[in-house]
Amino acid sequence: MRLLQPVRLRHPYVTQLDLGVLHGTQRDLATIKTVTVPLSRPARARIAGWLAHTASPGRVRPLRDDGKGTTIPVPRVLAALGRTHHDLRDLIEDTGIRIPDTASTRTAARLLREEIDSHAARMLPDAPLLTERLRSYGIGEDALAERRFLIDALARARALLPLPRPLSLARLAHHCAVNPHYFDLNDHGRGALLVLLARDLLNAGQPDTPAAERALLARLGIVADRLSQTVLLLNVQAVGDGPTDRALNLAYKDRRPVHLTLHDLTANPPTLEASQRLLVVENVSLIDEALERGVTKPLACTRGTLSAVDHTLLALARHAGLAVEYAGDHDPWGHAIAAAVHQRYHATPVAMDAAAHRSAADAEPDWSRPPRAHSGADGHEPPRGRCGVEGRIYQENTAIVDILLGPSTSDPLHPCASREAPVGHGSAGSEAPGCT
């Protein structure tokens, strides 16, 4: 017997219902062909009975639960109940479950978006790059106050620029946002937005290094990290007569390391001696070891990053015509930095090839090595690194240190080091038996 009266879905039959597919306008509801719903067994039998009344003879298909729920043909159920998709919302809400009106939610979100965009355009009328970036950011109702504060902070900075004299980024951030780190130039700060503002005001291109970002801000009077960022140098000579040249030459004469700040390299850039071959290393421990070995070659240390001060030093070295070598840890980050320094500053990677990696791997302390899986009949190979040999190699590895600084039997970790040799600056000591 055909079902004549509309039948409501009773709430006890529905164990759980994901209504995400049902959110939206009536037009959205019309596109729904099936819905997968976890149903109780009585509810599944009830719906199967409805569908049986409208199915052609011999074409009745049982409803099955695949563990994730029962897939229900929505148009056929509506037809069996004598309803259309316009009634679908009412049918579901009759079970006691409310469907959010996402059409209204979307409208409210659009109005909110338009309001924020209009506010940014009013407060920053001459900053199209910045306002376009702000438009690209998502925003929710709960973030409205935060976004307004960000726009207002940028507008406060805009009202001061260009500054009549240099001012630290931290002081500017504190004035504009009561937080000295608000515009920090890092992955978590909002400094990138301040850089966009500088590009708008100066009609400048995209800076492609941290040093270029800071140079762009400096054109507006904002100084960032110029005293906190330093680079460590040893045995580097200069031929100019500025304060930084004198500091380098005095340190060279005294055979001591010297830290130069970003301010030293930008406000008083040195003129480096062109005949030098500068070895740039990743880890400060290499400079420490060079002091103990009495190494006289020019050295610099980036501390494993390419910060603004590092880029500035490398640019000065390239401009002066120095031959630059770079050595880093044997890991993806170390190789990435080496590639960047080679491409931008024509530096030659040293002690980073497969042969050096293999020698270093053989020199690793035995007790630090994980068990190795040797290739055999099963054809399994041990894990390989970037250079085709096993493991990650740090610069502190004795073989790498010897390649970069030259071998020294005074090294307490060297297999041929004398245990009787007195500790002294650069002392070679006496060799252990069997060492040549």
How much is the pLDDT for 407? 92
How much is the pLDDT for 380? 43
Provide the phi-psi class of 60: left if phi over 0, else alpha when psi is between -120 and 50, else beta: beta
Cα dihedral 356, 361, 365, 370 in deg (nearest 10): 160
Amino acid at position 55, single letter: A
With a threshold of 0.85, does the pTM exceed it? Answer: no
Averages of pLDDT over each 10 residues, the chain, 436 residues: 36 39 50 76 78 65 74 79 70 57 59 85 96 83 82 98 97 97 89 97 96 98 96 98 98 97 97 98 96 97 92 98 97 94 97 94 76 46 43 91 94 69 43 46
How much is the pLDDT for 50? 77
Residue with tokens 């960047």: 340
The model's pLDDT over 72-90, given as tens digits with 9 standing for 90+, comes to 787 887 777 777 766 666 6
How much is the pLDDT for 54? 66
How much is the pLDDT for 299? 98
Q: How many residues does the chain have?
A: 436
State whether residue 300 is helix, strand or coil.
strand
Quick one: tokens of 45?
A: 């039998």
Residues 312-327: b if buried by 16+ CB within 10 A, e if exposed: bbbbbbbebebebbbb
State whether residue 393 is helix, strand or coil.
strand
Number of C-beta neighbours around residue 14 at 10 A:
17
How much is the pLDDT for 154? 98
Indicate the DSSP class of residue 272.
B
User: Alpha-carbon distance 407 to 295, whole Å?
Assistant: 11
User: Alpha-carbon distance 298 to 276, whole Å?
Assistant: 7
Per-residue H/E/C for 32-74: CCEEEECECHHHHHHHHHHHHHHCCCCCCCCCCECCCCEEEEH
User: Alpha-carbon distance 52 to 77, whole Å?
Assistant: 10
User: Alpha-carbon distance 329 to 332, whole Å?
Assistant: 9
Quick one: tokens of 286?
A: 């290499």
Cα dihedral 172, 156, 184, 109 in deg (nearest 10): 160
ω into 6 cis (within 30 of 0): no
DSSP codes, 177-212? HS-TTTT-SSTTSSHHHHHHHHHHHHT-----SHHH
Angle at alpha carbon of residue 30, lines to 29 and 35, rounded to 5°? 60
User: Alpha-carbon distance 428 to 414, whole Å?
Assistant: 11
Strand partners, 232: 259, 301
Which H or E run contains 27?
A: helix 26-30
State whether residue 244 is helix, strand or coil.
helix
The answer to whether the CB of 277 falls within 8 A of the CB of 297 is yes
Residues 19-50: b if buried by 16+ CB within 10 A, e if exposed: eebbbbeeeebeeeeebebebeeebbeebbeb
